[in-house]
Structure 1
């Protein structure tokens, strides 16, 4: 019982807050106008924390990379594997949503503010606006979050290139990263209250239909995610070393899968993954790089949920998700969220910020997406964590290294 509360306590509290908010929205709607400002305050705290959090997390991670020549070949192969398989997960999710559409509330006007935009803006103008700003002060706006991510990456690279002179700045980045992680942790402690207040508002305005709306995307995620887990990971293992790879992967992946499910933490699954990688015959010099880095930067579960969140947001707004430009942008956001935001506590929130910035999605749609992200977390953790070992198998295959036969029977 203690372990259950420790590992799933935040999700349980979130569900409790949502449940209480729902009951208030149904049976005490007169209180909703009092509660909604609490939800607004919570959302605003998240908005103001995301920019410094991103800066320190991204810049410090790049600045701390050392001995890149030694890692060179493996890092390149690993990066290609990570990006390609995340794209596969995203495209497969899009195909799944096209084949099995998740319907949503059609009249969201009561929840969402009017949407404005520049209809005459060309794609060239959009690219410039997404990737850059004309003044430094504009970088600090969440509307320019993609440009800010690029700036943070460049700061990290510049810090690495500064050698000894950059060490003090690296220490500053590391300290700032830790402080901002703790800040976000503090803010998320009031998440059950903030999201509960927002949920009360949504229930009041949309009524019982809201519950069916959440059930459908959650049902899709768990159904599709389980199928993807079995078929895609088996395929990757087969590509790595045929039927022997498939058998070895699933034989030794049981322990990491159960660890991920029971702890709901990719980090807690890392030791089990390293042991499983050794038993699968992945060379230690590859496993020691791919599995720890993948723990932070490789998130199949997050990729699937990112596409689902964008789809749900578009569905709420009555927008067409399946336009080619929208789909390409969605895949790009997914790769960025899965590989850049993966190492940030509650990093899925970065995906919502990117969605708001790029698609112009109203803030009021964010709580619904946050709730979905929290509820898919158990299976998402299994997909995120156990994908690291199968990625290690692929890196072993494409880097030309030999699997260690003796370890297979360990």
Structure 2
């Protein structure tokens, strides 16, 4: 009898722990169905989804600032921050490399869709005109404080916030009051995210309904074959590689709990196509996983701007597509290394190709 009670309690606990992910998936599917059935009429749900998303965006900047600065300010040994960032970036580079190799293999097996329409080269030329130095400066810094407190310059915000946190930490006892205030403010914004999470099913349902109703049919018509290659490849990478990383970090417990808690950030990123939008939700997921906040508050914001395995997969697909369209073969390791340079990603710099090497005109 006692064993039956224990088993029943465990079953109830398991069902309760998976209740939120199941509800979220159900609402997202419901939103997609509403969008497909109503089409453009589903736009009446747009305000609901966009208000929820805008609330996430509004929380983004103060959450990053207070969470990172409070964590660093309360760390006595500031060299620990440097070690953590160095290790984090090293892991990001390694996993991005694996993502790129993986997508090269996928495109090598399944090919790419060459029926797509070419975009406006003039706009691309203007974008590519900036020097590497200018790109580095604009990526890590801005010229005015008002631009730092903007989600359009997340990496510059992170650099400023880390500098601020280190400065407070070096003040020692004189900076203790500021560090305490930063910590209290970070708790406030974490709580705001937790409250906003209660509206996630409704917000995501409305957002997916509008997204599917307006863009669903057109996306399938224009990019059907490309989506059939890219999305399955991305989904497979998500489950296999991220599952592997979770297993390396915390064994089978890590895998089970990672996929249980990553669902809301993943669906938000999928629907909004924005790493920034999912960042507050990732930090909430880290709390549920038991990741120390002095780690998650630094690693997650940096990861949202630097750890782009999905973007890496998409970029490799674009590179292979451009090389295919412009007749540049990928037959050896040397070809892959060469075509992965910026020249291959900027097709208007190539010499004109003969007509037979332009399959999109056939």
Calculate the TM-score normalised by the size of structure 1.
0.54
Shift in CA distance, 136/263, structure 1 to aligned 2, threshold 3 Å: closer
Shift in CA distance, 262/314, structure 1 to aligned 2, threshold 3 Å: closer
Shift in CA distance, 56/41, structure 1 to aligned 2, threshold 3 Å: same
Once the two structures are superposed, residues 91-116 of structure 1 have per-residue CA deviations (whole angstroms, 9 ceiling, x without a partner) of 11121122114979968x9xxxx999
Q: Distance in 2 between matches of 1:189 and 1:116?
A: 45
Once the two structures are superposed, residues 211-267 of structure 1 have per-residue CA deviations (whole angstroms, 9 ceiling, x without a partner) of 96754421232234456678xx5xxxxxxxxxxxxxxx9xx9456656666777666
Structure 2 gap segments, 5+ residues each: 1-10, 263-284, 324-338, 345-362
Shift in CA distance, 88/314, structure 1 to aligned 2, threshold 3 Å: closer
Once the two structures are superposed, residues 267-320 of structure 1 have per-residue CA deviations (whole angstroms, 9 ceiling, x without a partner) of 66669xxxxxxxxxxxxxxxxxxx997677678xx799831255459979x997
Shift in Å at residue 128 of structure 1?
A: 1.6
Q: Distance in 1 between matches of 2:287 and 2:96?
A: 23
Is the partner of 1:100 in helix, strand or coil? helix
| Residue 167 of structure 1, aligned match among 155, 160, 176 | 176
Aligned pair 1:220/2:218, yes or no?
no
Aligned pair 1:16/2:26, yes or no?
yes
**Residues 256-265 or 39-48, more deviating:** 256-265
How many pairs align?
Answer: 278
**Residues 178-187 or 214-223, more deviating:** 214-223
Shift in Å at residue 80 of structure 1?
A: 5.2
Shift in Å at residue 172 of structure 1?
A: 0.8
| 1:4-403 equivalent positions in 2, closer than 5 A | 4-29=14-39, 31-67=41-77, 76=83, 81-101=87-107, 118-204=127-213, 205-207=215-217, 209=220, 214-226=231-243, 233=248, 253-254=251-252, 306-309=308-311, 311-312=313-314, 323-324=340-341
Shift in CA distance, 68/306, structure 1 to aligned 2, threshold 3 Å: closer
Q: Distance in 1 between matches of 2:186 and 2:16?
A: 24
Q: Distance in 2 between matches of 1:298 and 1:29?
A: 40
Is the partner of 2:154 in helix, strand or coil? helix
Shift in Å at residue 54 of structure 1?
A: 0.4
CA RMSD of aligned residues (A): 4.5
Is the partner of 1:134 in helix, strand or coil? coil
**Residues 88-97 or 192-201, more deviating:** 192-201
Structure 1 gap segments, 5+ residues each: 234-248, 272-290, 328-410
Q: Distance in 1 between matches of 2:168 and 2:47?
A: 41
- Aligned partners of 1:314 and 1:320 also within 8 Å: no
